[in-house]
């Protein structure tokens, strides 16, 4: 027996298990999040006798007699202060790291009510936040210290009243205090657990699967193979090439392939049973790079061969333009796989009624309707009979687009008749979900004697791993943006996405543009050198201006403010000896003629307006944005507007949260629905409108790829940016200045949070992050991915430029992705200016951040 005091209560524990299990499972203290179970992320941080401790590391015997405090144990005053401070600072995004951060803050402020920013950063240095870049978390702790120190009371958050307002997010309190539910926090009667047995080899024939011993184990409810799937085995949002389970006789394509599923009463029994499943394999040679996969005679990973997608974009006469140019530069570049490292591992709970053919799936994903479609096909149900409900989503960044656990939970529930939870371990998460594509690129860029760009030619090859995921569209965006945000029209861009036996690659913040932007921006600096002008000057001369034609033929909109972003950094760039610069553009919305709908349903209930849209908030703050748009349009205040999380029964399909699209497309749908409500509000009060419903829809209509129009509209909007990286004399990063043309900032504090988080994520891409593979096997753990920590993170100065008069969503253009695009080339340019070494591979070599291989 072990005796502890938990949040002031005496607790005895019989079994010597991990402290996190006692806190989460026995005491139901769900603020203690399990982000990795391996001591590497900090989401489980609690205080033990006043010291911060990771609850997932040690067993309860180590805490005998100690006083444990979790967020649930904070005093009323502390709760009020932390909610106010984190809200006011804009420190909350997906929220999964936040209770752990609050405990770090308490640990510090209980000792020191006047900490420096450096001391705050040191206090949170063992806790990873993938969303915020830490700046606003440090702001929040600094503010909390002031509120305690000066005993400032009456802390009331501002009421939301419209767009452009710096206002705390609507989900602040539930995330700071840890009562907001992620899927893993749900308590469901009769819940059992499930997990997949995954392939022992990246490529092997599954000769036989023997589940008999596993099935015989006490507490095991089901062990199922592909033969037990009632519907389709194949999933995939666009191309259905991904096996839910590899059947006996089938061939595996990567180490993350699931071969059978085990459902049992406890997670421990699941693991025991998995070890009892006997799978006989015939190991086959695999291919682990596009080069190997494209060799004559290479084994085919899919029946269609090893090429997933091929793009060839031609406008004007690139060859002629390059031949006749004063200056030409050709370079090869290479970028790596990147892991999303969202803090909440994939988790789903499914409750399936096989007789009634109905399913409910609680999911952490980027598109409830995608999950509904995929799971209904696997179960063989009608789509409408699968109700998908988004719980809080602890980050996505593109990595929660595909099926990972939802279909497995649904199948196990179909077979057992029980509610089933499937949660990936951090190791599985790192192995299973699609990564950012590694790319090999050869770029030729040409300009005239004044440095005006004349033409470019590019060849890109991406490793799309074992399955298609969104590898086709990612390649397409890499190609369509490869010429950069500049005014020239001779392009020849060829891209190929190649299957290999590596983990799949798919969507990742930047969607392919992170890769091609690195190449074009680095080439531009070499051209500037040949011309004899500065990297700033070449960008200023070529930056796309309103009314000019982008390289893809689209006319730049009147609100295009790239030049303003370039001008904003002139002084600092030109006067700092170790400054690097890069520009970028990024589409908002799916574009290229594909269906791209934003939709919402407004209902008036008890004098409040509910917003329901099937658009996932994955941490970016969509709910707050939609409430602000509703307030602006109706004149109602935020206390009258309720945002309900995405689900598929009542909230209309608004597509996936991807491509920086939701603020624009669903924001516009909400504006449109609100305009209808406004008409009725002129005649009646909200009380009198009880039960009324208003549907909003917006189709972002665009022209398809290959359109014959002279000036096709490929995307309804583009965001633009210029970023500057400044280095200290010792080569460490002093600061990143990120100037973003966002059209209109619906909530400036949220926009800054997106910029700061996106920049730091890509600073990792530039300098520290890698995802090494050994014959398809990831060798990194969460703790060795190279994620930036708070005490090593430089300052990010975000500057918002607003010049869009377009009424669509009040002029907002998505900000989620572009924040991550120009950072790496800006940093590359800074090192080149500092030491003359022109680096062409990420992460950049020979910097103070370089890791010994």
Q: Which residues bind to ligand FES, rule: CB under 6 A?
A: 34-37, 39-44, 54, 56, 93-98, 129-132, 343, 395, 619
The candidate with the shortest Cα–Cα distance to 466, out of 256, 611, 151, is 256
- Using the minimum distance from each CB to ligand FES, give the nearer residue, 345 or 667: 345
- Using the minimum distance from each CB to ligand FES, give the nearer residue, 33 or 541: 33
Using the structure block, give the residue that is written with the tokens 């070449």: 538
Residue 274 backbone dihedrals phi, psi, to 5 degrees: -60, -35
| H-helix segments, 52-171 | 76-89, 98-109, 117-123, 135-149
Whether 131 and 395 have beta carbons less than 8 Å apart is answered as yes
Minimum CB separation of residue 652 from ligand FES in Å reads 27
Minimum CB separation of residue 658 from ligand FES in Å reads 18
For 24, the token pair is 């989460």
The candidate with the shortest Cα–Cα distance to 495, out of 522, 466, 539, 463, is 463
CA distance 840 to 851: 17
Minimum CB separation of residue 342 from ligand FES in Å reads 7
- Using the minimum distance from each CB to ligand FES, give the nearer residue, 376 or 390: 390
Minimum CB separation of residue 35 from ligand FES in Å reads 4
- Using the minimum distance from each CB to ligand FES, give the nearer residue, 93 or 489: 93
- Using the minimum distance from each CB to ligand FES, give the nearer residue, 13 or 41: 41
Using the structure block, give the residue that is written with the tokens 């992170």: 514
The residues with which 739 forms a beta bridge, in sequence order, are 722, 799
For 23, the token pair is 């806190």
The candidate with the shortest Cα–Cα distance to 105, out of 130, 131, 132, 85, is 85
* Element (DSSP H or E) covering residue 624: helix 622-634
Where do the DSSP E strands lie in 466-532?
491-499
Where do the DSSP E strands lie in 665-804?
693-699, 717-727, 733-741, 773-774, 777-778, 795-801
**CA-CA-CA-CA torsion sign (523, 528, 531, 532):** negative
- Using the minimum distance from each CB to ligand FES, give the nearer residue, 58 or 487: 58
- Using the minimum distance from each CB to ligand FES, give the nearer residue, 52 or 225: 52
- Using the minimum distance from each CB to ligand FES, give the nearer residue, 133 or 504: 133
Whether 342 and 399 have beta carbons less than 8 Å apart is answered as yes
- Using the minimum distance from each CB to ligand FES, give the nearer residue, 56 or 104: 56
The candidate with the shortest Cα–Cα distance to 58, out of 141, 2, 134, is 2
Minimum CB separation of residue 757 from ligand FES in Å reads 8
- Using the minimum distance from each CB to ligand FES, give the nearer residue, 344 or 741: 344
The candidate with the shortest Cα–Cα distance to 194, out of 240, 262, 268, is 262
Minimum CB separation of residue 57 from ligand FES in Å reads 7
For 153, the token pair is 């009371």
């Amino acid at each position: 027996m072990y005796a502890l005091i938990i949040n002031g209560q005496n607790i005895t524990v019989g079994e010597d298990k991990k402290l996190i299990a006692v806190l989460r499972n026995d005491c139901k203290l769900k603020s203690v999040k399990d982000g990795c179970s391996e001591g590497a992320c900090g989401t489980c941080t609690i205080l033990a006798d006043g010291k911060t401790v990771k609850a997932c590391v040690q067993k309860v015997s180590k805490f005998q007699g100690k006083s444990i405090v979790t967020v649930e144990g904070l005093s009323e005053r502390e709760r009020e202060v932390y909610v106010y401070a984190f809200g006011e600072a804009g420190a909350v995004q997906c929220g999964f790291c936040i209770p752990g951060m609050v405990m770090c803050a308490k640990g510090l402020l209980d000792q020191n009510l006047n900490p420096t920013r450096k001391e705050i950063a040191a206090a949170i240095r063992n806790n990873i936040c993938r969303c915020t870049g830490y700046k606003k978390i440090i702001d929040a702790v600094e503010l909390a210290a002031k509120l305690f120190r000066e005993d400032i009371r009456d802390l009331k958050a501002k009421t939301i009243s419209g767009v452009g307002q710096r206002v705390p997010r609507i989900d602040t309190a539930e995330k700071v205090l840890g009562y907001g539910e992620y899927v893993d926090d749900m308590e469901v009667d009769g819940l059992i657990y499930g997990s997949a047995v995954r392939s022992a080899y990246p490529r092997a024939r599954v000769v036989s699967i023997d589940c008999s011993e596993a099935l015989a184990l006490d507490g095991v409810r089901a062990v199922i193979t592909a033969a037990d799937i009632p519907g389709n085995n194949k999933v995939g949002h666009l191309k259905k090439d991904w096996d839910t389970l590899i059947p006996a006789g089938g061939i595996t394509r990567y180490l993350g392939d699931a071969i059978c599923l085990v459902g049992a009463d406890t997670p421990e029994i699941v693991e025991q049973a998995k070890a009892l499943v006997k799978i006989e394999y015939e190991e086959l040679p695999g291919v682990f790079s596009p080069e190997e996969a494209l060799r004559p005679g290479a084994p085919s990973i899919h029946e269609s061969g090893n090429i997933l997608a091929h793009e060839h974009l031609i406008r004007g006469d690139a060859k002629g333009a390059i031949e006749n140019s004063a200056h030409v530069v050709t370079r090869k570049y290479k970028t790596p796989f990147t892991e999303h490292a969202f803090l909440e591992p994939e988790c789903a709970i499914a409750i399936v009624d096989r007789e009634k053919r109905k399913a409910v799936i609680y999911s952490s994903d980027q598109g409830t309707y995608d999950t509904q479609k995929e799971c209904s096909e696997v179960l063989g149900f009608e789509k409408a009979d699968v109700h998908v409900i988004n719980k809080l989503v602890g980050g996505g960044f593109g990595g929660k687009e595909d099926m990972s656990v939802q279909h497995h939970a649904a199948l196990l529930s179909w077979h057992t008749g029980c509610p089933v939870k499937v949660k990936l371990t951090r190791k599985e998460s790192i192995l299973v979900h699609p990564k950012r594509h590694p790319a090999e690129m050869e770029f030729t860029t040409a300009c005239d004697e004044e440095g005006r760009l004349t033409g470019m030619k590019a060849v890109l090859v991406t490793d799309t791993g074992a399955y298609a995921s969104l590898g086709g569209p990612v390649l397409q965006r890499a190609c369509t943006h490869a010429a950069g945000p500049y005014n020239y029209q001779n392009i020849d861009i060829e891209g190929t996405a190649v299957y290999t036996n590596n983990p799949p690659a798919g969507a990742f913040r930047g969607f392919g543009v992170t890769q091609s932007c690195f190449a074009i921006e680095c080439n531009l600096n070499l051209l500037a050198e040949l011309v004899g002008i500065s990297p700033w000057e070449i960008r200023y001369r070529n930056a796309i201006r309103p009314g000019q034609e982008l390289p893809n033929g689209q006319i730049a909109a009147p609100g295009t403010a790239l030049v303003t972003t370039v001008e904003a950094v002139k002084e600092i760039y030109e006067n700092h000896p170790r400054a690097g610069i890069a520009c970028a553009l990024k589409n908002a919305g799916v574009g290229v003629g594909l269906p791209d709908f934003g939709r919402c349903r407004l209902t008036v209930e008890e004098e409040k307006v509910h917003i329901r849209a099937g658009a996932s908030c994955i941490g970016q703050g969509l709910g707050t944005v939609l409430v602000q748009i509703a307030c602006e349009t109706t004149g109602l205040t935020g206390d009258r507007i309720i945002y309900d999380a995405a689900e598929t029964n009542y909230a209309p399909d608004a597509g996936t949260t991807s491509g920086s699209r939701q603020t624009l497309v669903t924001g516009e749908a909400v504006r449109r629905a609100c305009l209808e409500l406004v008409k009725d509000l002129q005649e009646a009060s909200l009380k009198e409108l009880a039960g009324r419903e208003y549907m909003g829809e917006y189709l972002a209509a665009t022209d398809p790829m290959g359109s014959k129009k002279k000036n096709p509209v490929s995307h309804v909007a583009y965001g633009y940016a210029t970023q500057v990286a400044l280095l200290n004399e010792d080569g460490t990063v002093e600061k990143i200045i990120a100037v973003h043309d966002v059209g209109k900032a619906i909530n400036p504090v949220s926009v800054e949070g997106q910029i700061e988080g996106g920049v730091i994520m890509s600073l990792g891409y530039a300098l520290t992050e890698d995802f090494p593979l050994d014959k398809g096997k990831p060798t990194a753990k969460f703790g060795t991915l190279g994620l930036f920590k708070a005490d090593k993170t430089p300052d990010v100065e975000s500057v918002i430029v607003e010049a869009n008069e377009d009424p669509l969503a009040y002029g907002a253009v998505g900000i989620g992705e572009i924040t991550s695009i120009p950072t790496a080339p800006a940093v590359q340019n800074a090192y080149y200016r500092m030491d003359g070494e022109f680096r062409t591979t990420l992460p950049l070599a020979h910097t103070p951040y370089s890791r010994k291989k």
